[in-house]
A and B are shown apart, each in its own frame.
Chain A
Amino acid sequence: MSVIYEKIYNVERDDYANAGLVSSLIKQSLRTIGISPAVSRRVAVAVYEAEINMIIHAYGGTITLQISDDGMIRLIAKDKGPGIPDIEKALTPGFSTASKKAMELGFGAGMGLPNIKRNADEFSIESSPAGTTLDLKFQERE
């Protein structure tokens, strides 16, 4: 298995206005190269939530899209900190540390990471004060 396509997208801290942009670009690319609507949609939802988290909770970062010759889609969302102190807590549906400002905009349901986990076929998360990395894999489901 080897990577046949790779693209890296930047996500800026506090850039609410462009939140969702990377997600829609990735969805378009996937549809263009013939990935099914079902998989494209799952990937797009995961990217969206990862992107928003990087904007509202982290200092920005990058999202890397890789496609392998066997059709596997991999997403690596890597931010520049401050990290997640308790990952298990963060993954609990409903848990959120969103600011008042973010809450007023409709963020902070504590459903982002659970949404990512549910949409990805493989999910791993690592975090330290230097940054959080989500590593996600997606494949066509039967």
Chain B
Amino acid sequence: MKVTEMIEKTGFKTVYLGEDREVAGVYCGDLLSWVMGKGQPEQAWITVQSHLNVIAVAVLREFSCIVLAEQAEFPEEVIERAKNEGLTLLYSDLPVYETAVRLYEAGV
């Protein structure tokens, strides 16, 4: 499934739409080195961390997008960095677990 199709099916709000990458699976986590060690390419990453370093981690892990859960918000500088990287940023107003369930139900 592509990122755009995933957005359509989940209803997550688009903060920035980057490259329409393939989405294969989901990773949840807020401890950055843990995510760096365990995340896999093409996963959608659900986190509550919204500072600049999440962009670096997502780019290095080659995640397909970041889904920011729990009504957290991305600062402007983070959105700018994501634009430079073509990395899609999404908002979910649900908690992490329900956000993951939503993705599961969408077929990710």
CA–CA, A110 to B32, complex, Å? 10
B105 contacts across to A, CB distance below 8 A: none
Find out whether the CB atom of A41 lies under 8 angstroms from the CB atom of B37: no
Shortest A112–chain B CB gap in Å is 5
The listed residue (A24, A105, A107) touching B59 by CB distance below 8 A is: A24
Find out whether the CB atom of A106 lies under 8 angstroms from the CB atom of B53: yes
Please report the number of residue pairs spanning A and B whose Cβ atoms sit closer than 8 angstroms. 66
A27 contacts across to B, CB distance below 8 A: 60
Interface residue tally on B, bucketed by range: 20 to 34
Find out whether the CB atom of B34 lies under 8 angstroms from the CB atom of A109: yes
The listed residue (A41, A44, A106, A114) touching B32 by CB distance below 8 A is: A106
Q: Which residues of B contact A (CB under 8 A)?
A: 30-34, 36-37, 47, 49, 51-57, 59-60, 62, 77
Task: Give 14 CB contacts A-B under 8 Å.
Answer: A16-B52, A19-B53, A20-B52, A20-B53, A20-B57, A20-B59, A24-B56, A105-B49, A106-B31, A106-B32, A107-B33, A111-B36, A115-B33, A115-B37
